[in-house]
Amino acid sequence: MTAPEDSATRQAQDYLAAVEHELADLPPEDRSALLEDLAQHLEALAGEDDDRPLAVRLGLPAQYAADLRAAAGLPARGSVVRIATPGVRDRLDAFLASPAGRRVGSAGHEVWRLLGELRPAWWVLRGYLLVLVPCLLVTDGFRDFPVPAPLGSDELGVVLVLAAVVGSVALGRRSLPRPANILVTAFGVVLVLASFAVAQDELQQQQEQDYAYASYAASSVFTLPTEVADGRYPLVSRYGPVTDVLPYAADGTPLDGVLLYDQDGRPLKVGFQEWWADGCVRALEQPRAADGVPVPNSYPQVYEPTGSGVDGALVPAGTCDTDDARPEVPLPTFPPAEPTPSG
């Protein structure tokens, strides 16, 4: 049965119940006879191509009941206050019978029909949000939008989204009992509200990260003399502070103890390395010249563990890495130098 047929049946049942209420003071046999005739009349009206409310086509239930009494020669109801001073339902029926009420009813019918057509889209969105919202709530360093990445896996996210969408569509196509339907609807509302809250939080975090990056970039560029003065970041690249320089020979051989100077002949200094993969704090071991003065521009820099961790606690012996391997870098290949002619 389609939605319009359900609406017409429900409207006919409501109208029949309202008329029955108006005939409640009659003997059961008289009331049954009148209601049987009305039921047959309503069934005939349901087959007509007319979507106007029954209150418009037949009149208010109270007035219709009064007409049935008069046609059957039955006495009028003892109290006609309901007809003279209609209740909320009668007022609503009267409003729906007016031109403005018909326009409102028509607009409401179109909205309801549109919502019915959009239900499959909501089923798909509900399944997607069921996987996305928990992923966004877990701060794991992965980007979960638009593809959720549970456990850091986009492939797993795609599989879970497909499974959730299939389950959501299957649930939406089923006819659930009223309590279960209310529970599913409430869960959907909570899911939508949670998605809005998480999206707002993600947007705020992104704005804070952008502000922090802009602040760092500004301090690196515009306050560089201060940074140089206190020795924190004496050399800064586009990727951040430089904490070491790894020299190589033209043939790719790693070089040690190379002295570097800037364009004005000043010893080149870099920032101090503060973060280590093993969590150990290290101290810079600079080579010393013949007069005992440390040489700060000898590269690569040499750091030795101090025996404490970055959190200030002592670390067991053998915990810190003793070999600081150089990263793998692609080195250019230079052509062999041509011999200088003698003579």
Question: For the chain, give me the number of helices (H) and strands (E)?
Answer: 10, 6
Using the 3D structure, point to which of 174, 209, 244 is the last residue of a domain. 209
Q: Are residues 156 and 71 in the same domain?
A: no
Q: What is residue 163's predicted lDDT score, i.e. its pLDDT?
A: 92
Residue pLDDT, tens place only, 269-312: 887 776 667 778 888 888 888 888 888 888 888 888 878 877 77
Inside any domain, residue 216: no
Task: Give residue for tokens 């389950």.
Answer: 167
Pairing of β 298-299 and β 303-309: unpaired
Inside any domain, residue 203: yes
Count of the separate structural domains present in the chain: 3
Inside any domain, residue 139: yes
Inside any domain, residue 330: no
What are residue 175's phi and psi, to 5 degrees? -95, 105
Identify which of 86, 78, 74 has the alpha carbon closest to the alpha carbon of residue 37: 74
**How far lies 267's CA from each of 27, 191, 241, 295, in Å?**
114, 61, 17, 9
Identify which of 167, 132, 125 has the alpha carbon closest to the alpha carbon of residue 149: 132
Q: Are residues 73 and 139 in the same domain?
A: no
Q: b/e map of 73-110 (b: 16 or more CB within 10 Å)?
A: ebeebeeeebbeebeeebeebeebbeeebbeebeeeee
8-state DSSP, 151: G
Inside any domain, residue 42: yes
Task: Report the C-alpha gap between 302 and 322 in whole angstroms.
Answer: 11
Tokens of 82: 């309901």
Task: Report the C-alpha gap between 301 and 265 in whole angstroms.
Answer: 19
Q: Which domain holds residue 196?
A: 119-209
Task: Report the C-alpha gap between 274 and 301 in whole angstroms.
Answer: 13
Task: Give residue for tokens 């793998």.
Answer: 328
Residue pLDDT, tens place only, 46-77: 777 777 777 777 788 888 888 888 877 777 77
Q: Are residues 90 and 132 in the same domain?
A: no
- Ranges of residues in the chain with a pLDDT under 70 are 1-7, 78-90, 93, 95-97, 105, 139-143, 209-234, 239, 274-276, 342-343
Q: What is residue 166's predicted lDDT score, i.e. its pLDDT?
A: 93
Q: What is residue 227's predicted lDDT score, i.e. its pLDDT?
A: 46
> Does the global pTM surpass 0.75?
no
Inside any domain, residue 337: no
Q: Are residues 130 and 198 in the same domain?
A: yes
User: Residues 169, 123: contact at Cβ < 8 Å?
Assistant: yes
Q: Are residues 204 and 233 in the same domain?
A: no
